[in-house]
Amino acid sequence: MRENNTKILTTSALLAAVVYIATYIGTALPFSGYAHLGDAAVFLSGLILGPHYGMLAAAIGSAMADGLKSYVIYIPATMILKGLMAYMIGKVRDKGTKTIVVTMVAAGLIMVAGYYGYEILIYRNIFAPMANIPWNIIQFVIGMVVALILIKPLSRFRV
């Protein structure tokens, strides 16, 4: 039992670090935020760790990247939205590929809508955050593709 707990904890910490690195290494967008491969790592966290530990790894890793990239104002939204994405994927990780893809799309769209709503609160404007919607969609679609490519070779690390 202890070895399994150690493996889960170690894998969770490792994936939180992977989420952080994949999110931190990105490029600034013209309006706000930055483009990165963090969504791929968020999806992989749910697929490898399952819903609960995947949610924690995704939320912590993403929030750390926002904080250390000086996007501190986004930390609350990031923790909730990225954690939710990993949780949703973790819940269906044992279903077929079609279910996983549909859930990834749903999770990505929830993330896009969530950031839009959060940015309305920040900017106090419903139009300004619209500029980020296409970038957020592109980012999660690329993350989806990368995660689907990497999950097979990384499936041996599932806990």
CB contact set of 116 (below 8 Å; sequence gap of 6+)? 129, 130, 132, 133, 136
The number of beta carbons lying within 10 Å of the beta carbon of residue 85 is 30
Q: Which two tokens mark 31?
A: 């309006």
Per-residue confidence of the chain (159 residues) as pLDDT tens digits? 456 889 999 999 999 999 999 999 987 776 666 778 999 999 999 999 999 999 999 999 999 999 998 889 999 999 999 999 999 999 999 999 999 999 999 999 999 999 999 999 999 999 989 988 999 999 999 999 999 999 999 988 888
Q: Could you tell me the pTM of the whole model?
A: 0.93
Distance CA 109, CA 3 (A): 37
Domain range list for the chain: 2-24+32-157
- The fold of the 2-24+32-157 domain, in CATH, is Arp2/3 complex 21 kDa subunit ARPC3 (1.10.1760)
Q: What are the CA-CA distances from residue 62 to residues 4, 91, 105 (Å)?
A: 25, 20, 19
CB contact set of 109 (below 8 Å; sequence gap of 6+)? none
